[in-house]
Structure 1
Amino acid sequence: MQLHIIPGYIQNIYLVQDAAGLLLLDGCSRADVSTVCDFIRQKLALPLTALKLVVVTHMHPDHAGGAHLLRRKTGARIACHPKACLWYSGLLGRTAHIIDVSLTWWVAKRLGKPKRHIWYNPILKADMVLADGQQLPDFPDWQVIYTPGHTDHDLSLMHQPSKQLYIADLIVSVKKRLVPPYPVCHPNQYKQSLKRVSALQPSRLYFAHLAPRTGESINFSDILAQAPTLPKNHWHSMRNRILHTLGWQTGQH
């Protein structure tokens, strides 16, 4: 198994190469599709049809935005958690999608990247859904680990023979300190996910927005101590701003 790490628009892209073909550990952003295709054709000297499976770990623009277009170009199948397809459904979901696309452009600007076309269908049309603990189709060395909290449908992926684990946005870095991501929509589930990852004792961890690190180098207790007790997302932030504007304090009536 070879794991190729490719710099993406605002995140790391992880492309697995083994005897079964190519596996993309996340759906990238729409802006990353040409990057992935060029890497397959030029660096690996393989046809685009070598990409067999694209996993969407969650529905945010830098993890799901390229999935549909990659399937159209390569014929790869898309897999995700059953709840992922409904994440942006309804009026509130579509509003959240617009906010998340805008946040992606904001992050890109902070990284010195130009504004790129990243809009994508907020309703994922997956070919298959994944259950906690199952092996990935065609790639049985990779196990699905359900790690919700950031959203209600986050997946992590473990290469069982080597105990290497991709955890997407479960942990990020702010001012060189490892911290929970934004948003944390389900705080209790997030804490349980952190504990589960810690208990797996991964040999190496791969992140969407950080360089890889050894599992033993991660202070999970410190990250757990920083985890919110209440949801920390767009809607709660908006509510708190409104209350602050009205001169209220959270929890008072």
Structure 2
Amino acid sequence: MQLHILQGYIQHIYLVQHDNSLLLLDGCSRADITTVSDYIQQQLGLPLEALKLIIVTHMHPDHAGGAHKLRRLTGARIASHPKARRWYSGLLGRTAHLIDVSLTWWVATRLGKPKRHIWYNPLLKPDLLLLDGQQVPGFAEWQVLFTPGHTDHDLSLLHLPTRQLYIADLIVSVKKRLVPPYPVCHPNQYKQSLQRVQELAPSQIYFAHLPARAAESIDFAAILAQAPTLPKNHWHSMKNRILHTLGRQNRSH
């Protein structure tokens, strides 16, 4: 197994090579399609059809945005958590999608990146629905783990022979400190997922937005201590701002 790490628009891209078959550990962003395609053809010397499977760990723009178009270009199948298809459904879902695309551009600006085309279909159409604990179809050395909390459908991927683990956005960094991500839509599930990762004792952890680290170097207790007790997402933030504004108005009368 070879793990190729590419620098994406705002995140790392993990491309797994088993002989001449490729597995993409996340759907990356719409802006990353050329990066992935060029790497397969020019750096690896393989046809685009070598990409056999694209896993979408969750539906945010930098994890799902490139999946559909990469499928059209390569013929690869898309695999996801069963709940991923419904994440952006309905009026509230579409609104959340607009917010998340805008947040991606904001992060890109903070990283000094130009504004790129990152719009994508918010309703995922996967070919395969994954189960917790199953082997990844076509790549039996990899195991699927459900690690919800950031969303209701987060996936992590464990390479069984080497105990290397990709956890996507389960942990991020703010001011060089490891912290929970934003949003945390399901706080209790998030804490359980973090504890699950700790108990797995992986040899190495790969993140979407951080360099890889040895698991033993991570203070899981400190991250758990920072995890919210109530949902921390767009809707709760908006509600809190509205309640705060109303409270100020009432106090002023």
User: Please, what TM-score do these two structures have when normalized by structure 1?
Assistant: 0.97
- 2:144 is aligned to 144
Query: Residue 82 of structure 2 aligns to a residue in which SS?
Result: coil
CA shift, 1:247, in A, is 1.7
Query: Residue 205 of structure 2 aligns to a residue in which SS?
Result: strand
Instruction: Measure, in 1, the Cα distance between the counterparts of 2:125 and 2:82.
Output: 11
Q: Does the CA-based 8 Å contact 1:151-1:186 persist in structure 2?
A: yes
CA shift, 1:19, in A, is 2.5
Q: How does 1:205-224 map to 2 (within 5 A)?
A: 205-224=205-224
CA shift, 1:20, in A, is 5.9
Q: How does 1:146-185 map to 2 (within 5 A)?
A: 146-185=146-185
Report the count of equivalent residues: 248
Query: CA deviation digits over 1:123-156, x for unaligned, max 9?
Result: 0000010000000001000000000000000000
- 1:53 is aligned to 53
CA shift, 1:246, in A, is 1.0
Q: Does the CA-based 8 Å contact 1:20-1:139 persist in structure 2?
A: no
Q: How does 1:1-253 map to 2 (within 5 A)?
A: 1-19=1-19, 21-247=21-247
Query: Residue 69 of structure 1 aligns to a residue in which SS?
Result: helix
Instruction: Measure, in 2, the Cα distance between the counterparts of 1:182 and 1:224.
Output: 14
Instruction: Measure, in 1, the Cα distance between the counterparts of 2:201 and 2:190.
Output: 17
Query: Residue 125 of structure 2 aligns to a residue in which SS?
Result: coil
RMSD: 0.6
Query: Residue 121 of structure 2 aligns to a residue in which SS?
Result: coil
User: Please, what TM-score do these two structures have when normalized by structure 2?
Assistant: 0.97
- 2:251 is aligned to none
Q: Which amino acid aligns with 1:108?
A: A
Instruction: Measure, in 1, the Cα distance between the counterparts of 2:146 and 2:62.
Output: 19
Q: Does the CA-based 8 Å contact 2:20-2:46 persist in structure 1?
A: no
Query: Residue 96 of structure 1 aligns to a residue in which SS?
Result: helix
CA shift, 1:97, in A, is 0.2
Q: Does the CA-based 8 Å contact 2:141-2:160 persist in structure 1?
A: yes
Instruction: Measure, in 1, the Cα distance between the counterparts of 2:129 and 2:197.
Output: 21
Instruction: Measure, in 1, the Cα distance between the counterparts of 2:140 and 2:246.
Output: 55
Q: Which amino acid aligns with 1:105?
A: W
Instruction: Measure, in 2, the Cα distance between the counterparts of 1:187 and 1:243.
Output: 22
The list of structure 1 runs, each at least 4 consecutive aligned residues, that deviate by more than 2 angstroms after superposition, is none
Instruction: Measure, in 1, the Cα distance between the counterparts of 2:217 and 2:5.
Output: 20
Query: Residue 28 of structure 2 aligns to a residue in which SS?
Result: coil
* Contiguous gaps of at least 5 residues in structure 2: 249-253
Query: Residue 117 of structure 2 aligns to a residue in which SS?
Result: coil
Query: CA deviation digits over 1:79-112, x for unaligned, max 9?
Result: 0000000000000000000000000000000000
Percent of aligned pairs sharing the same letter: 78
Instruction: Measure, in 1, the Cα distance between the counterparts of 2:68 and 2:181.
Output: 25
